[in-house]
Amino acid sequence: MKFGIAAKLAVVLALVGMLAAGISGFYAYSASRGLLVQSAKAELLTSTRVLARRITVVRQEISRTLRALARHPAALAVLDNGSPARAAELATQFALLQEANPSYFQIRLIAADEPGLERVRVDRNGSALLRVSGDHLQKTGHHPYVFETLRLRAGEVYMSRVALNHERAADAALRQPSVQFATPVVDASGRTRGVIVINADLNGVFGLLAADLPPDFQLYLTNGSGDYLIHPDASRTFGFDRGRRVRVQDEFPATQKLVDGRVEDLVIEARSPTDDKVAVVAGFIAAYAQVHTADNRFVLGLAQPLDSILARAAPLGGVVMQIVLGLSIAGILIASILARAITRPINALSNAVECFADDGRGPALPVRRQDEIGVLARRFAELRTKVAQQMGELEHLAQHDPLTDLPNRALFDDRMRVALAAARRDESRLALLFIDLDDFKPINDRFGHAAGDRVLKGVAARIRQNIRESDTAARIGGDEFVILLRSVQSVDDAARVVQKIDEAIGQPFELDGHRLRVSASIGVAVHPEDGLDAAALSRHADAAMYRAKQDGRAAERSG
């Protein structure tokens, strides 16, 4: 059986249509997967920074506890005259703190003389608390957390190196990863009389901090040299204390520049150190203790399997496949019609096929013709328009938040990069605003997530109404937004925008007969005063937002 020109043409047209639909679908899916991975990297780095801030909060809480204990009248009384009653009072205070903080292995009051004799000590022994007294009290003046702390001023805090505990004083802490925090006890004359020491369980602290992380996240913590302190495989931790070294730069070579201090953060794709068959995306940052310590630099990291990230693209893949299948079927139908209708105008048909994927930049289709060529041309024009529309929709979905229709992090980062380049070239200013809604979770808990979503849409709308068209607002998290203000004249300009947005967000929302109010904590960073690049501006704005949130909570408490 011979195929005529019409049949051959029908086959060619069908193949061209299917190929165009397949290439378009493949490109859309590949581009979406790439954007998804980039977005996941940014989210992973943000999660790592959030965890680092939580660590800072824990350290600050321990420091506040130490300072409060150092100012307790019973501490000086015990050091002055060894009063048994005041010692019992202080021991009770130690025990109450340990009950409230399961990560505290031990709390001690140590005298500055005698030398370094423990005067009051409460140990954790399993689930019980034990006050140690009499001959069981030890002299600890040879430990750095004693003699180094005695050199500090009142209110300053010392932190020991993170290591496996070898002191047999605290049974629960023996051979466990721990760290000692200490502060001096100073009398009214300014004389250092002793130290208060808290021995903290590192695993317990990080267990609480990581409780909210997704189950497939892996947590890493190293000291300044890269030696693991926390690792998904516990046998690889504290190698330096067991006669061998297991370091992050050995398992993730790219982190060498982070350990060397050449960068402050990085995101990489690598093989999981616990399973070489699993690819992971890992974010690492350098963190600092910000207290007196021999090793104040740490490397904190989070890793997530790449498969978990790409699994989010599965629904999009299904949509793309449906689009490709629909376009392919449409192409086959059009080819069948053309095969029956066209016999002579082969050249015109060929030109139309060649111009199919040119987005109208090639020769114009003869859509005004009233014969078979005109019909074919109009079908191709419709198909090309549908492809362009669907590609535009996919691109919009990939760059915008589906709830608020604000730009997402990927689009915002791109606009930030362009704005920074323009600001450097023109020597102009721009401002970066971080916005976090206060107490948003109770709205979801009380009225449901649908109400919370309506509030988020309302907040987004109010933000858009109070910025210029040249500015960019984006949603980067559940109740977190960022704003890029281009070409600001001064810090006061940014402050006025902050005030407008704060007042707009503070207006009540009417939802199903309820008047709901939300407030926002807003942090501002201005280029070039607060940073020359996006990372520095983000850190500054994030820190400013955190201070605003803390100030707001402090104001509520004082009010």
Domain regions of the chain by residue span: 409-558
- Tell me the pLDDT tens digit for each residue of 111-129: 998 788 999 999 988 778 9
Does pLDDT of 333 surpass 70? Answer: yes
Does pLDDT of 359 surpass 60? Answer: no
- Tell me the pLDDT tens digit for each residue of 517-547: 888 999 999 999 888 999 999 999 999 999 9
Nearest CA among 548, 534, 546, 528 for reference residue 427: 528
**Mode of pairing for the β-strands spanning 192-201 and 104-111:** antiparallel
Q: What is the largest CA-CA distance in the chain?
A: 115
Enclosing H/E stretch for 86:
helix 84-100
Fold held by 409-558: Alpha-Beta Plaits (3.30.70)
Where is pLDDT greater, at 93 or 167? 93
Is the alpha carbon torsion for 44, 49, 51, 52 positive or negative?
positive
Using CB atoms within 10 A of its CB, is residue 206 exposed (0-12), middle (13-18) or buried (19+)?
Answer: buried
398 close to 31: Cβ distance less than 8 angstroms: yes
Label residue 554 by pLDDT band (50, 70, 90): low
Question: What's the pLDDT score for residue 120?
Answer: 94
230 close to 219: Cβ distance less than 8 angstroms: yes
Question: What's the pLDDT score for residue 121?
Answer: 94
Question: What's the pLDDT score for residue 168?
Answer: 56
Residues shown for the chain: 559
Label residue 329 by pLDDT band (50, 70, 90): confident
Question: What's the pLDDT score for residue 162?
Answer: 81
Question: What's the pLDDT score for residue 73?
Answer: 92
Mean pLDDT of 128-137: 89
Q: Which of 153-167, 346-360, 477-491 ranks highest by mean pLDDT? A: 477-491
Question: What's the pLDDT score for residue 203?
Answer: 75
Question: What's the pLDDT score for residue 56?
Answer: 81
Nearest CA among 544, 504, 505, 538 for reference residue 523: 544
> What percent of the chain stands above pLDDT 90?
31
Q: Which of 89-98, 158-167, 204-213, 374-383 ranks highest by mean pLDDT? A: 89-98
Catalytic annotation, residues: 479
Backbone angles phi, psi at 494, to 5 degrees: -65, -40
Give the integer Cα–Cα distance in Å for 524 and 492: 11
- Tell me the pLDDT tens digit for each residue of 140-153: 888 888 999 999 99
Give the integer Cα–Cα distance in Å for 260 and 399: 35
Label residue 346 by pLDDT band (50, 70, 90): very low
Residue 526's identity, in one-letter code, is V
- Between CA 139 and CA 145, with CA 143 as vertex, the angle to 5 degrees is 115
- Tell me the pLDDT tens digit for each residue of 264-301: 999 988 888 888 888 889 889 888 877 777 677 888 88
Residue 280's identity, in one-letter code, is V
| Helix boundaries (H) for 210-300 | 248-251, 256-259
Question: What's the pLDDT score for residue 541?
Answer: 92
Nearest CA among 387, 469, 487 for reference residue 428: 487
Mean pLDDT of 194-209: 81
Backbone angles phi, psi at 245, to 5 degrees: -120, 130
Q: Give the count of beta carbons closer than 10 Å to the beta carbon of residue 510.
A: 10
Question: What's the pLDDT score for residue 257?
Answer: 92
The helix/strand count (H/E) of the chain reads as 16, 19
322-331 burial, b if ≥16 CB within 10 A, otherwise e? ebbeebbebb
Average pLDDT, the chain: 82
- Between CA 325 and CA 328, with CA 326 as vertex, the angle to 5 degrees is 65
Question: What's the pLDDT score for residue 514?
Answer: 81
Structure token digits, residue 81: 């005259």
> What are the angstrom distances between the C-alpha of 431 and each of 323, 468, 497?
41, 13, 10
Question: What's the pLDDT score for residue 55?
Answer: 79
Mean pLDDT of 247-258: 91
- Tell me the pLDDT tens digit for each residue of 151-182: 999 999 998 888 777 665 555 555 677 888 99
Question: What's the pLDDT score for residue 396?
Answer: 82
Mean pLDDT of 189-202: 91
Give the integer Cα–Cα distance in Å for 117 and 138: 6
Q: Tokens 């310590």 correspond to what residue?
A: 293
Label residue 349 by pLDDT band (50, 70, 90): very low
Give the integer Cα–Cα distance in Å for 137 and 148: 20
Give the integer Cα–Cα distance in Å for 338 and 7: 9
Give the integer Cα–Cα distance in Å for 238 and 178: 11
Segments of 191-319 assigned E as strands = 192-201, 218-222, 228-230, 265-272, 275-288, 292-293, 297-305
